Structure 1
Amino acid sequence: MAQSFRPRDTAELVEVVKWAAAEQQPLEVIGNGSKRALGRPMQVANTLALDHLTGVVDYEPAELVLTARAGTPLAEIQALLQDNGQELAFEPMDYGPVLGEELGRATFGGTLSANVSGPRRIKAGAARDHVLGLEAVSGRGELFRAGGRVVKNVTGYDLARAFCASWGTLAVASTITVKVAPKATTEKTVCLFGLQGVEATGAMSAALGSSAEVSGAAHVPEKLAALQSGNWGGGRSATLLRLEGIEESIDYRVGILRRVLELAGTVEIMDAAASFSVWQSIRNLTVFPHNLGALWRVSVAPTAADDVIASLPEGCLVMQDWGGGLLWIADPDDQRDGTSLRAAIASAGGGHATLVKAPENVRNTIDVFHPQEPGLSLLTKRLKSQFDPHGILNPGRMYKGV
């Protein structure tokens, strides 16, 4: 008989996983389930939901360190940080809107287990780079702790970082400690309208290579720009460069970008309110229409972005983030298996393509996450066998047999 478990503390969590290990009963591990439709479908009867394992355990603003239980709503943590003039520097996106869920349902543990990072990754690093330590339960039902409350080197597996991007297949976190950052006083966005292809990629690369300390670099093509409220740039493509800090510093750095980009076209400046709204749309992918079909997340070298985009079938919509290193590709044909896309990525020098959104029948038959090289695949399976020898935690969520 299918069972749904919702532990309220670490002791209950340990007992649930111990039972599942002893009975070899697989568990679908979720927070609030906001990313449930991302990944390979799992044939699992039992659910382990962490939405009752909530609350901030420790927060010291002066030390820039926060510890919270895995099921704590991410919005609750962000509100607490906001009240103290701080933030999660990796700027996590919310997958909810593109997966048909409400905005704001993501949890702390789910965000980190998926290594969810936003536009500021080019400056602040990925989510995993901000994790200091965690308390978790392995697939054996054993409670363990990794890392701590300070940044330090480790010997052997860096378990806190390994947890990130494992999608709940290695262990179930009960509490996680992260470093937080002071929030910028204000922000502005330098906009270039009408650039195409290599022009846009070149402008972003030039800006990121300058001393302007750009914290966001994205390109929205005209077909997507025309759909936005306010009609960005009169329906022209928009190349966006975000600057954060104090007003005087931002104005000085705007001057740097004006000089660097003087041959790239007319430069316009978005004020703080408009800039915040635009980057929220980019971060949460609400620049795309609701009926976007399939959605692919592609990571490539920025210099290869234009070649990959040129290889796409007609009708695909693409937004570039991370200076061109991250491509969000909406494909109106939601039955495509990604073979040609991954071949184009390989031809362009390599990268990764993850299928974020597609019907269940497609996700059940293709590699949702980018296929691993044989050596890495072997290491992944070995790590899985050490932490979850019975294969009870999110079995097959990422790869068959893992």
Structure 2
Amino acid sequence: MSTTSLMPSSESDIRDLLISETEGLHIAGGQSRLRATEEKVISTCALTGIVEYEPGALTMVAKAGTPLSIINETLQKENQQLAFEPPEYKHILNLLGHSTIGGVFATNASGSRRIQVGAARDHLLGVRFIDGLGRVVKNGGRVMKNVTGYDLVKLMAGSWGTLGIITEVSFKVLPIAETQVTLQIASREASILTRAMNTPYDVSGTFYDVASGFAYIRIEGFDKSVKYRMQQLLKEFSDFEIDIFDAEESKKFWSDVNNLAFLKNMQGDLWRISVRPTDGIQIIKKLDPKASYLDWSGGLVWLRVEEGFNVREKMQKMSGHAMCLSGSFNQFHPISTIEKTLSTSIRKKFDPKMLFNQQVLN
């Protein structure tokens, strides 16, 4: 466990901490995604509050430590949502923390609807953060220019706190669909996910349970449109046995998917592998896990394996990026020498003392 935990309540507090700091720091939001280390923790949990929300403009500005639950509750009152469905892992990882909006964008946390609307980074409009020298940097949103020459909005999304401490984010929101349905299709071929995505019927979720052989296809939108597209998909897959989940059943199912409910009551290490959609099922066949699921039309593989099973070693000659969410292995996939050189070069421009989240690159 980390030895010291600090929760500064303002940017000036963060700057004061960084100016005199010489040792590594663990930068976190609600501490629900990045594993704990022995480094001193700086958490943004005390930087909370919705700064600006314009439902008509479909935009929101919030301080980084604002709980994701507060963001969702506020949006739901206006029948709006974070369309990229940020997942929540704390329950399956038995963590006491909570997701923050800054943490969502810092980790580019994106759920099943990514295949339709893009990842978290595609919804981020602006970011404000403090770099390793205590400088306040801002880009996008209400402040469109910066002096670094980088697109900081894209750079910060998915940076896992290695470039700076995010203090504020501005982002797009979207209306909640009028209705949705999910088709449960009995198929022993995971390629049915790609087949569904290649139809013109605007599929917003594809999920495959390898053990049961069930594929799940979601469509959302206005009631009349959903009914039409559902009928067309039923014709497209008329050779298969199909059950239909109504709107409430569908919402519950995809909430479970994004929160990994299917993997919760299982023993073993938990792995998340990003691959080409065509490679997902091949990786599962090679690894032979205790449990496995495909999301993102096959491009995201979830695995439960025996404790200590080295997934990365088995993947050496295969494409993919394997993150170990629970287990004895490093959380992050090793990167190549070229990738590390490039990442270090960018990182040193913002964090020359290399204080922030060293475990991500190491």
Runs of 4+ in 1 over 3 A off after TM superposition: 149-156
Q: Which residue of 2 aligns with 1:303?
A: 278
C-alpha distance after superposition, 1:248-283 (max 9, x if no partner)? 1111001111122123x1222100111111111111
Q: Which residue of 2 aligns with 1:316?
A: 290
- Assess, with a 3 A threshold, how the Cα gap between structure 1 residues 105 and 399 changes in structure 2: closer, same or farther: same
Q: What one-letter code is carried by the residue in structure 1 that aligns with 2:83?
A: A
Contact 2:132 2:356 in 1 (8 A): yes
For residues 339 and 271 of structure 1, the distance between their equivalents in structure 2, rounded to whole angstroms, comes to: 39
Q: Is 1:399 the equivalent of 2:361?
A: yes
Contact 1:184 1:244 in 2 (8 A): yes
**Aligned-pair distance for 1:19?**
2.6
Q: What one-letter code is carried by the residue in structure 2 that aligns with 1:238?
A: F
Secondary structure, counterpart of 1:192 in structure 2: strand
Q: Which residue of 2 aligns with 1:92?
A: 86
Secondary structure, counterpart of 1:105 in structure 2: coil
Aligned positions of 1:77-116 closer than 5 A: 77-101=71-95, 105-116=98-109
For residues 282 and 59 of structure 2, the distance between their equivalents in structure 1, rounded to whole angstroms, comes to: 42
- Assess, with a 3 A threshold, how the Cα gap between structure 1 residues 289 and 4 changes in structure 2: closer, same or farther: closer
**Aligned-pair distance for 1:386?**
1.1
For normalisation by structure 2, the TM-score amounts to: 0.94
Aligned positions of 1:195-344 closer than 5 A: 195-196=187-188, 199=189, 201-222=190-211, 236-263=212-239, 265-313=240-288, 315-331=289-305, 333-344=306-317
Contact 1:188 1:272 in 2 (8 A): yes
Contact 2:287 2:311 in 1 (8 A): no
C-alpha distance after superposition, 1:296-315 (max 9, x if no partner)? 111112222222111014x5
The correspondence for 1:181, drawn from 174, 181, 191, is: 174
**Aligned-pair distance for 1:74?**
0.3
Higher relative contact order (CA 8 A, sep 6+): 1
Q: Which residue of 2 aligns with 1:18?
A: 19
Contact 1:98 1:357 in 2 (8 A): no
RMSD: 2.2
**Aligned-pair distance for 1:97?**
1.6
For residues 348 and 173 of structure 2, the distance between their equivalents in structure 1, rounded to whole angstroms, comes to: 33
**Aligned-pair distance for 1:153?**
12
C-alpha distance after superposition, 1:22-45 (max 9, x if no partner)? xx13221112211243xxx6331x
The correspondence for 1:156, drawn from 145, 149, 156, is: 149
Unmatched segments (≥5 aa) in structure 2: none
For residues 143 and 77 of structure 2, the distance between their equivalents in structure 1, rounded to whole angstroms, comes to: 23
For normalisation by structure 1, the TM-score amounts to: 0.85
For residues 193 and 101 of structure 2, the distance between their equivalents in structure 1, rounded to whole angstroms, comes to: 31
Unmatched segments (≥5 aa) in structure 1: 223-235
Secondary structure, counterpart of 1:287 in structure 2: helix
- The total of aligned residue pairs comes to 361
For residues 154 and 181 of structure 1, the distance between their equivalents in structure 2, rounded to whole angstroms, comes to: 31
C-alpha distance after superposition, 1:28-68 (max 9, x if no partner)? 1112211243xxx6331x22111111000011111111110
For residues 347 and 148 of structure 2, the distance between their equivalents in structure 1, rounded to whole angstroms, comes to: 19
Q: Which residue of 2 aligns with 1:5?
A: 6
